[in-house]
Amino acid sequence: MPTLGEAARAVLLTADPHDKRRAARGLARAWRRGEIDHRCDTAMPDRPAWPAEPELLAPNQMPKRGKGGSERGRIALLHALAHIEFVAIDLAVDLVGRFGGEFPRAFVDDWIGVAADEAMHFALLDRRLRQLGSHYGALPAHAGLWEAAEATADDALARLAIVPMVLEARGLDVTPATIDRFEAAGDAASAKILSRIYKDEIRHVTAGTVWFRQKCDEMGFNAVETWHSLVKSRFRGSLKPPFNDSARTRAGLTQEFYTVIAS
């Protein structure tokens, strides 16, 4: 029986986007069937395997993509979102492979489920890009998305604080307006996909917040103060309003966390 660490490493070292998507969903199925041993004694790679395309650029080198009013602008935005979901597969898999041994099975249940969700999101976005005459890899993409994983590779609490509770929570803030822009442009098909992703990501932020709080309780830490400290020390960006307070509250990420340190 393969271990969780071995299975996670295999997904991370799969470069082809569609093979990685299938591998992540296969990992989820095998875990649910009890075919993977809950052991995480295999080293995770410092960086996952990724395809030659898309070309990865620094944030300040990324071309402007507009507001999504034109079809070209919508394709650029969908491509950017597809890249986020592709990297999110690796972020979720790395979380369970690197830190799953520190938590009960329910933690792995949650985060392998997140990895499967991200794989499905990527598939939906890539299929939509193809319907519009493009595909994932056709445009350059943001090179900095893995930085959060590198900055938190040593600490499960830091990883939970930054990836679901900062990065995915930011998606809750911006996605409703993006959906509105697609609907205004008459692109109901893309808007429907983003609505599905938005609902799933509320669950993902919930999982991050629940397990962060639980780990803090286990260690005798104040969850809010610990989160403030980790965001200040491990996150290179800043927390900027406007915030989707209702969605964040549904996910358990209440204002006491983020309003105090928002810029």
Residues of the chain with pLDDT under 70: 65-69
Q: Is the peptide bond before 242 cis (omega within 30 degrees of 0)?
A: yes
Three-state DSSP state, 56? strand
What CA–CA distance (Å, rounded) separates 138 from 92?
Answer: 25
The pair of three-digit structure tokens given for residue 185, joined into one six-digit string: 């442009």
- CA 182 and chain centroid, separation: 22
Are 250 and 202 in contact, with CB atoms under 8 Å apart?
yes
Which of these, 91, 99, 85, 106, lies nearest to 194 by C-alpha position? 85
Are 140 and 227 in contact, with CB atoms under 8 Å apart?
no
How confident is the model at residue 239, as a pLDDT? 95
Are 251 and 206 in contact, with CB atoms under 8 Å apart?
yes
pLDDT digits 0-9 by tens, 160-183 = 999 999 999 999 999 999 999 999
pLDDT digits 0-9 by tens, 215-240 = 999 999 999 999 999 999 999 889 99
The pair of three-digit structure tokens given for residue 223, joined into one six-digit string: 């969850």
Q: Helices 71-99 & 4-12, crossing angle to 10 degrees?
A: 150
Which of these, 42, 129, 40, lies nearest to 86 by C-alpha position? 129
How confident is the model at residue 66, as a pLDDT? 63
How confident is the model at residue 61, as a pLDDT? 83
Are 96 and 115 in contact, with CB atoms under 8 Å apart?
yes
How confident is the model at residue 65, as a pLDDT? 65
How confident is the model at residue 83, as a pLDDT? 97
Instruction: Please list, in sequence order, all residues whose beta carbon lies within 8 angstroms of the beta carbon of residue 240, skipping any fewer than 6 positions away.
Output: 262, 263
